[in-house]
Amino acid sequence: MTESPTTFEMHAIVKRFPGVLAIDHVDFVCREGQVHALLGENGAGKSTLMNVLAGLYRSDGGEILLKGRRVVFHSPQDAISHGIGMIHQHFMLVQSNSVAENVVLGLKKPRFFLSLSSIEDQVAALGEQYGMKVNPRAKIWQLSVGEQQRVEVLKMLFRGARVLILDEPTAVLTPQEVDALFGTLHDMTNRGHSIVFISHKLEEVVKIADYVTVLRRGKVTAANVSAKGISKAQLANLMVGREVLFRVDKKKIQPGEDVLVVEGLSAENDRGLPAIREVSFNVRAKEIVGIAGVAGNGQSELAETLTGLRSATAGKMRMGNIVLNSRSHWREIGRRLAHIPEDRASVGSIPDLSIAENLILKSFSRSPISSGWSIDKIAVHQNAVKLVDEYKISTPTVDTPVRMLSGGNLQKVILARETAQQPELMIAVHPTRGLDIGATEAVHKLLVEQRDAGAAILLISEDLDELLSLSDRLMVMYEGRIVGDMEAESSDIEKIGLMMAGVKAKS
């Protein structure tokens, strides 16, 4: 097979956000008539990379070539005028307007007189051509989510898009709608369009993509591999990483009594669909239990349910001899139950408050920080000075607002706060996501120290490397269920990969 010409090439793209290197010298090439999947865990930089291409972000380095010519996009309009259109996870449609009105929204032409009926005809014809039937006169709010997505696609085609970027398009669709979407994508590639398909769902990638590029922590781990000759397990490994970057110095110790016991726990996600289904497991003292899995298989919901941020629909949770429910959660948070949340900036910290004030978030209602109604400023300051020194948080003063800290330092603040009280149980979710090697090592060391001090730790991560080097026991989550439970030492990476991909889910 001869290679078709490229539609665009991205070379050595770099994108930084304050404190984070989101995209690190990434190359990405797309050819005519192909579906190129961009695969990676949450926060790997997939959407960021494509937002650069679609003109939403400006890169801090690198260049974009369009048919060999260098281009710079200042806005999404620039990008679409060059034939690059992106469909975001959240649709950009005006609910009370018709399909045709949404399609022409924002176009420069026609300047004064809008002949809606001729546009409606064009939209209908375009829909016919690509097998996407939509009534152009229907109002958006009357349409299903799948139909709304078609309107977004039509909008881009109407603007002459040759390259279509779809950001996790199947996340909101029913299985039937996914099939219809894939049919449309085939029609489009047959007509020479290029598709960039952003996803973390292995199954779909294998099904629809011609080529796959895998991103991990802002770097390409596999470029342009043919999707035909690759297995799901291989992709899973590429996504979460298996090369050993570092080793954690960890002694083997005998675990103690059960600290966390979960029986038949179920919970729903934000859309009201079952996210965890009758999960049962236990975590013992002096033990780190890792939960592996591809993003979106219920890990976040599990952590939220265990820490009282989400209510369970069925099942029981017990910490020691305390039943965890909405009342006891409030009481135990910050005492015996510690939580390193997934999103440190928007959940784990209060950006405008100082380091000292962030450090007391879990202990402000108790002595020595507060006595009666008031908060003891001196105790707050002493607590901060002690923890900043102990956990090696680098900051000019303890009164610096935490939004000025780098990701690694912010995570240290959270860890300091959560572990200072010697918790019995710790739930850590993606504790090293987005951190550099140095900070990652510091966090790993801390977790092991907590374990040695007697804590039971549940570690949820997408980084297989991290899980294998830290965990004593490893479980795999797939579609809300725990599908594997094994000693971490004896675990086989291939087998874990298969479980994460759901291959052995039924056995």
Partner 1 sequence: MNQSRIPYRVRFETRLDNPGWLGIVSSILGVVLALIIGGFVLKIAGATSPVSTYQAIFQQGFGTFADWRAGFIAIFTNTDCPKGMLCFGPLSDTLVKASPILLTSLACIVAFRMKQWNIGADGQLFMGAWAATGVAVFLLPSTTNPVLMMLAMGLAGVLAGAIYGAIPGFLKAWLNINEIITTLMLNYVAYNWVAFFVVVGPWSIGDFESTGRFPAAATWPRLTQLSKTIPILSGLTANPGVLLGVFAAIGLAWVIYRSRWGYEIRVIGNNPKAARYAGIDLKRNIFLVMALSGALAGLAGMNEVASLRELNGRFQQGYGFTGVIIAWLARLNPIAAILVSILFGGLVVGTQLVQPAGISAMLQGVILFVVVGTELIFRYRVHFERVDGVAIPEKIGEVS
Using CA atoms, how far residue 367 sits from 99, 338, 345, in Å, is 61, 18, 27
Tell me the C-alpha distance between 260 and 284, whole Å.
7
Q: Is residue 141 near partner 1 by the rule CB under 8 A?
A: no
Q: Is residue 353 near partner 1 by the rule CB under 8 A?
A: yes
Q: How far is CA 316 from the centre of its chain?
A: 28
Among 193, 201, 217, 362, binds partner 1 (CB under 8 A): 362
H or E element at residue 167:
strand 163-167
* Residue closer to partner 1 (CB basis): 331 or 445: 331
Tell me the C-alpha distance between 217 and 280, whole Å.
31
Q: Is residue 360 near partner 1 by the rule CB under 8 A?
A: yes
Among 42, 135, 406, 421, binds partner 1 (CB under 8 A): 406
Tell me the C-alpha distance between 31 and 8, whole Å.
7
Q: Which pairs count as long-range contacts for 93-96, CB under 8 Å and 24+ apart, including other chains?
A: 93/140, 93/148, 93/151, 93/152, 94/140, 95/139, 95/140, 95/141, 96/139, 96/140, 96/141
Q: Is residue 350 near partner 1 by the rule CB under 8 A?
A: yes
HSE-CB of 43 using CA atoms within 13 angstroms: 20
Q: Is residue 160 near partner 1 by the rule CB under 8 A?
A: no
> Counting every residue, how long is the chain?
507
Tell me the C-alpha distance between 147 and 165, whole Å.
17
Q: Is residue 427 near partner 1 by the rule CB under 8 A?
A: no
Site for partner 1 in 309-348 (CB under 8 A): 309, 329-331, 333-334, 339, 341, 346-348
Site for partner 1 in 100-139 (CB under 8 A): 108
Q: Is residue 404 near partner 1 by the rule CB under 8 A?
A: yes
* Residue closer to partner 1 (CB basis): 58 or 133: 58
**SS3 state at 420:** coil
For partner 1, which stretch binds (CB under 8 A), given 139-147, 401-409, 453-461, 492-500? 401-409
* Residue closer to partner 1 (CB basis): 298 or 408: 408
For partner 1, which stretch binds (CB under 8 A), given 137-145, 248-256, 402-410, 482-490? 402-410
Q: Is residue 72 near partner 1 by the rule CB under 8 A?
A: yes
- The gap between the terminal CA atoms of the chain, to the nearest Å, is 39
For partner 1, which stretch binds (CB under 8 A), given 9-17, 133-141, 161-169, 422-430? 9-17
For partner 1, which stretch binds (CB under 8 A), given 235-243, 355-363, 420-428, 438-446? 355-363
The count of residues interacting with partner 1 (CB under 8 A) is: 48
Site for partner 1 in 170-229 (CB under 8 A): none
Tell me which residue has tokens 């730790």.
457
DSSP 310: S
Tell me the C-alpha distance between 484 and 497, whole Å.
11
* Residue closer to partner 1 (CB basis): 185 or 338: 338
For partner 1, which stretch binds (CB under 8 A), given 57-65, 128-136, 156-164, 220-228? 57-65
Tell me the C-alpha distance between 62 and 66, whole Å.
14
Shortest CA distance to 84 belongs to which of 25, 40, 30, 121?
30
Q: Is residue 286 near partner 1 by the rule CB under 8 A?
A: no
Among 6, 42, 81, 97, binds partner 1 (CB under 8 A): 81
Among 18, 68, 175, 272, binds partner 1 (CB under 8 A): 18
Q: Contact positions toward partner 1, by CB under 8 A?
A: 15-19, 58-60, 72, 74, 77-78, 81-82, 108, 307-309, 329-331, 333-334, 339, 341, 346-353, 357, 360-362, 364-365, 370, 373-375, 377, 401, 403-404, 406
